[in-house]
Structure 1
Amino acid sequence: MSRPTGREPRRLTRWWRRRSLRTRLTVIAATAIAVSVFVAFQVASELLDGELRDSAENQLRADSRVLATDAERAGLAHVQLPSYPGSGRLVRVILPDGSTRTPAGQPALPPVSEHAARVARGASADLMESNDSDEGYVVYTLRAGDGAVQVAHLADDSPVNRFGFGMLLIGLFCVVGGALVGRTVARTGLAPMDRLTAAAVRVAHTRDLDAGIPDEGGGEIRRLIQSINDMLAALRDSRRAQRLLAEDAAHELKTPLTSLRLNVELLIRLDRRGTLDSALPAESRTRLLNDLGAQVAELSTLAAELTDLARGDVSDENTELLDLADVVVAAVTRARSRMPHIEVALDVTSMWVSGRPAALQRAVLNLIDNAGKWSPAGQPVQVRLRAEGASAVLEVDDAGPGIDAADVPRVFDRFYRADSARALPGSGLGLSIVQRVVDAHGGRVAVARSARGGALLRVDLPAAAPPDPIARLTAGEDTAVRRPRPCRDPGRA
């Protein structure tokens, strides 16, 4: 059964990925040096071998010319051949009849080759050839008189071998040195990363987000440290905001819960004594129960608003292209059902925006609820929606006393309530939710004094191009659901 192909490369890849960055740099440095030394050895060996071969061949040619000159002067049969020194150069004379002469005591050369015989017969002037026998002779044949002379030497690879052995030792030394240098460079270069890792681990263990990571190094390390410090700052702000929200929520919940507990304990104590009817007349009992209902409603509203704030920008609602006029009309309808004693004057024009309809409706409803608390009887809350440049502008104003200049900077803070508003129902979260929703939609909200002397709250949202009616029909959208239309007062239509 054959094994699947490609398994070994995958194992090697997994092994490599499990190695530390320091080990990878060390291996890469050692490998690079080893490859460089090997390539340099190959190139140098070829150059050295070629240089030695050219030098030996040139020496053979020079010796052959000297011997050929002597042979032409004294004759091939009578020329004085140099005695064999015991090693190195070998000589031979090829006579016209094909026989040969060699110095006494000289080792026998390989038989005369066919190509060398042709030189002796005058077919060519010279010939350089290598013998393939075990001795490995290099023989140079030169035409001389009616024959030829030959000078040979034994091919010697020992210089190249000695050079290769030396290069091998140098290569091993360079590889070991390269590994050590790579290890040192990796340790030095990754020292900021080690300190960064230690600082991150310390923050994770101690949960101390105030302990920033020291800014050191440069380039990528510096940008990484700055990014982590920015992340820690964002987490620090988020945790501080959560802590403040919890503290403010506990403070705001304390009063209604205490009042609710006291009233419930009073009812329970009177009921256990059997004096509920005598101690609390029907009118007082009704008033107490109404107070309990109001306190429960206030707690429910506060809990819903706290949940909305705690979720922040997290929402399952999708962003879509919608007509803001439809959102405002829906919010006004809900406001009238919740506060039937408040009159709302509506003047809206179709304005398309990109946003989350439920969140926007909640923001508009909070604006109307806030204005309804201050609007005196007979003075309607005015809600206007119009285009202004590239923005959709929503204005909600009332004829109340307005907002004091000292309270304007904090009017959108969570749980903030002006001194004049502490006796009114509410949690102080409504306008904070408005600002969060508007910020999430890329808009801005501001407060000013209206022409009637009350508060004017203005919301600017980026306007969007209205959809193509043909494209909407092609997509199957019901154009009657969010159709653009001017509307003056749906409550009076």
Structure 2
Amino acid sequence: MSRTAGRGSRRLTRWWRLRSLRTRLTVIAATAIAVCVFLAFQVASQLLESELQDAAEDQLRADSRVLATDAERAGLAQVRLPPYPGSGRLVRVVLPDGSTRTPDGQPALPPVSDHAGRVARGASTDLMESGDIDDGGYLVYTLRAGGGAVQVARAADDGPVNQFGLGMLLIGLLCVVGGALVGRAVARTGLAPIDRLTAAAVRVAHTRDLDADIPDEGGGEIRRLIQSINDMLAALRDSRQAQRLLAEDAAHELRTPLTSLRLNVELLIRLDRRGTLDSALPAASRTRLLDDLGAQVAELSTLAAELTDLARGDVSDESTEVLDLADVVGAAATRARSRVPDIEVALDVTSVWVSGRPAGLQRAVLNLIDNAGKWSPPDQPVQVRLRAEGASAVLEVDDAGPGIDADDVPRVFDRFYRADSARALPGSGLGLSIVQRVVDAHGGRVTVARSARGGALLRVELPAAGSPAPDDAPARRTVVPPVSQK
């Protein structure tokens, strides 16, 4: 039984979910009206039935008092009983010996009850009771009179209640039908902005025109929904524009190294096919050419990795954890030395704990060190300092190079932007852009200034986290020397 009920409930739920919002509102409105009409019918029926019963009891008491008065004057045995009218009131006299008198032609009443007998014997003054006459409800009122009692009965009449119920049923049906129509009209009117919004969204999806904002109309929730969709379209426009710019800038930046790489490879292939590779390219020239090819491949690999990082945006499978930023800086300095053997890094770091993604932070620090290493003279190390300032972890990377011109500072973190003085150096112009993206993702900020040595000073501030290590951890001052060349 419960399994059948469960299947019926699931079927009803599935049917409800398949209905449109307009149909749901119509059904809800009609159901609400039907419930209200049913409750009103129940309350009104109870009130009407109670009023009718009170009126019937009052009438029985009045009739009994009249008959009791006559019985007191004439005696119970001689009192004249009113003739039976054929319907309605029934009367009976209970004599002191327990016998009864009734009018001629009147239907027989049930035997006198024990409670009514006690009234006739003087145990109580009166009694109101109910019983059955020919399977119909009735009321009997017994009143003490003349050594016995008089009884007046009236058959219960459900006709007015039934007529009232029929009328309420008809009114309820009309109300339900009217409520369904009104609910349908209200749903159609209330959902008209949603219909127009849906049509506009479908039109945008078909035309791919993200510039077509949806007109703002209505108020309250509808206006907020439209504004949210317009904000989403604006975000999509910005994203598509950023993708287009990224693709255009990437194509521009890839053109030069790919062209150089293709020319050098074609030269080697052409000379090799002619069999003049050894004679046309001496060993020293061939070594320089291969070194150029290796550098160009490395530059393309770096550019591809940076483009991948930028294209992914904030999407990362790496989880956030509480880590010591000093360890991240040390690992980045070691990687920088392995990538650029001539670079020298002086570390002056203190343990500062932050919440972040280790690989992303290491990539940002590595890009800062690589950028500083391009400008720092061979005899001047890149200085990396890490300390805690209040609730922030502050990382500073500076070099002894020429510094960044004031005109270039506003654009130094733009994608593919390279100052005129940096165009002859290797790089793609994406390193600092990646730094800013990583720092922003960690709730920090990065700024550019001039260092005390005259070069560029890049300062990163990140929110510090609770340290699982002692707060008085000593500073670690080390120098990462360049790799010796053999």
Partners of 2:390 and 2:369 lie apart in 1 by 25
Instruction: Indicate conservation of the 8 Å contact 1:372/1:398, yes or no.
Output: yes
Instruction: Indicate conservation of the 8 Å contact 1:349/1:486, yes or no.
Output: yes
2:374 maps to a residue whose letter is K
Gaps of 5+ in 1: 470-482
Instruction: Indicate conservation of the 8 Å contact 2:324/2:354, yes or no.
Output: yes
Partners of 1:255 and 1:34 lie apart in 2 by 77
Instruction: Indicate conservation of the 8 Å contact 2:347/2:476, yes or no.
Output: no
Gaps of 5+ in 2: none
Shift of 1:159: 1.3
| Residues 1:241 and 1:120: Cα distance change in structure 2 (over 3 Å) | same
**What is the 5 A alignment of 1:335-346?**
335-346=336-347
SS at match of 1:315: coil
Partners of 1:431 and 1:231 lie apart in 2 by 28
Larger CA deviation: 125-134 vs 423-432 = 125-134
Partners of 2:391 and 2:130 lie apart in 1 by 92
SS at match of 1:488: strand
Q: Residue 212 of structure 2 aligns with which residue?
A: 211
Larger CA deviation: 258-267 vs 142-151 = 142-151
Shift of 1:44: 1.7
**What is the 5 A alignment of 1:367-386?**
367-386=368-387
Q: Residue 165 of structure 2 aligns with which residue?
A: 164
Count of residues in Structure 1 that have an aligned counterpart in Structure 2: 479
Q: Residue 107 of structure 2 aligns with which residue?
A: 108
| Residues 1:137 and 1:109: Cα distance change in structure 2 (over 3 Å) | farther
Shift of 1:280: 4.5
Q: Residue 478 of structure 1 aligns with which residue?
A: none
TM-score by length of 2: 0.87
| Residues 1:153 and 1:352: Cα distance change in structure 2 (over 3 Å) | closer
Q: Residue 486 of structure 1 aligns with which residue?
A: 476
**What is the 5 A alignment of 1:93-492?**
93-95=93-95, 100-104=100-104, 106-115=105-114, 116-134=116-134, 136-277=137-278, 279-468=280-469, 485-491=475-481
2:35 maps to a residue whose letter is V
SS at match of 2:106: coil
Over residues 69-90 of structure 1, what are the superposed CA-to-partner deviations in whole Å (9 max), with x where a residue is unaligned? 2333344454444444444334
Shift of 1:383: 2.5
Shift of 1:119: 4.1
Over residues 19-63 of structure 1, what are the superposed CA-to-partner deviations in whole Å (9 max), with x where a residue is unaligned? 333333333332232222222222222222222222122222222
2:293 maps to a residue whose letter is L
Partners of 2:2 and 2:213 lie apart in 1 by 57
Partners of 1:97 and 1:433 lie apart in 2 by 116
Shift of 1:249: 0.5
Larger CA deviation: 120-129 vs 445-454 = 120-129
Q: Residue 9 of structure 1 aligns with which residue?
A: 9
Partners of 2:127 and 2:84 lie apart in 1 by 23
Instruction: Indicate conservation of the 8 Å contact 1:26/1:186, yes or no.
Output: yes
Shift of 1:309: 1.8
Shift of 1:450: 1.9
1:434 maps to a residue whose letter is V
| Residues 1:112 and 1:246: Cα distance change in structure 2 (over 3 Å) | same
Instruction: Indicate conservation of the 8 Å contact 2:344/2:480, yes or no.
Output: no
| Residues 1:426 and 1:155: Cα distance change in structure 2 (over 3 Å) | closer
Q: Residue 475 of structure 1 aligns with which residue?
A: none
Shift of 1:102: 4.5
Identical-pair percentage: 85
Instruction: Indicate conservation of the 8 Å contact 2:345/2:480, yes or no.
Output: no
Instruction: Indicate conservation of the 8 Å contact 1:413/1:432, yes or no.
Output: yes
Partners of 2:436 and 2:205 lie apart in 1 by 33
| Residues 1:388 and 1:127: Cα distance change in structure 2 (over 3 Å) | closer
Instruction: Indicate conservation of the 8 Å contact 1:329/1:490, yes or no.
Output: no
Shift of 1:122: 4.2
SS at match of 2:333: helix
Over residues 448-487 of structure 1, what are the superposed CA-to-partner deviations in whole Å (9 max), with x where a residue is unaligned? 1222222222222223343247xxxxxxxxxxxxx96522
Partners of 2:266 and 2:43 lie apart in 1 by 100
Partners of 2:155 and 2:330 lie apart in 1 by 109
Instruction: Indicate conservation of the 8 Å contact 1:325/1:484, yes or no.
Output: no
Shift of 1:417: 0.7
SS at match of 2:396: strand
1:13 maps to a residue whose letter is T
Partners of 2:347 and 2:64 lie apart in 1 by 120
SS at match of 2:478: coil
Instruction: Indicate conservation of the 8 Å contact 1:323/1:484, yes or no.
Output: no
Over residues 370-414 of structure 1, what are the superposed CA-to-partner deviations in whole Å (9 max), with x where a residue is unaligned? 222222343333333333333332222222222111111001111
1:72 maps onto 2:72 in alignment:
yes
Partners of 1:322 and 1:81 lie apart in 2 by 108
Over residues 111-133 of structure 1, what are the superposed CA-to-partner deviations in whole Å (9 max), with x where a residue is unaligned? 55144455445444333333412
Over residues 246-297 of structure 1, what are the superposed CA-to-partner deviations in whole Å (9 max), with x where a residue is unaligned? 1110111111112222233333334444454555555544443333332222
CA RMSD of aligned residues (A): 3.1
Instruction: Indicate conservation of the 8 Å contact 2:337/2:480, yes or no.
Output: no
Larger CA deviation: 1-10 vs 307-316 = 1-10
| Residues 1:346 and 1:65: Cα distance change in structure 2 (over 3 Å) | closer
SS at match of 1:487: strand
Instruction: Indicate conservation of the 8 Å contact 2:346/2:477, yes or no.
Output: no
| Residues 1:18 and 1:282: Cα distance change in structure 2 (over 3 Å) | same
Shift of 1:97: 5.5
Instruction: Indicate conservation of the 8 Å contact 2:88/2:154, yes or no.
Output: yes
| Residues 1:84 and 1:246: Cα distance change in structure 2 (over 3 Å) | same
SS at match of 2:479: coil
1:333 maps to a residue whose letter is T
Over residues 313-365 of structure 1, what are the superposed CA-to-partner deviations in whole Å (9 max), with x where a residue is unaligned? 22333333333333333333333333333443333333333333333232222
Larger CA deviation: 400-409 vs 83-92 = 83-92
Partners of 1:407 and 1:87 lie apart in 2 by 112
Q: Residue 44 of structure 1 aligns with which residue?
A: 44
Partners of 1:326 and 1:13 lie apart in 2 by 57
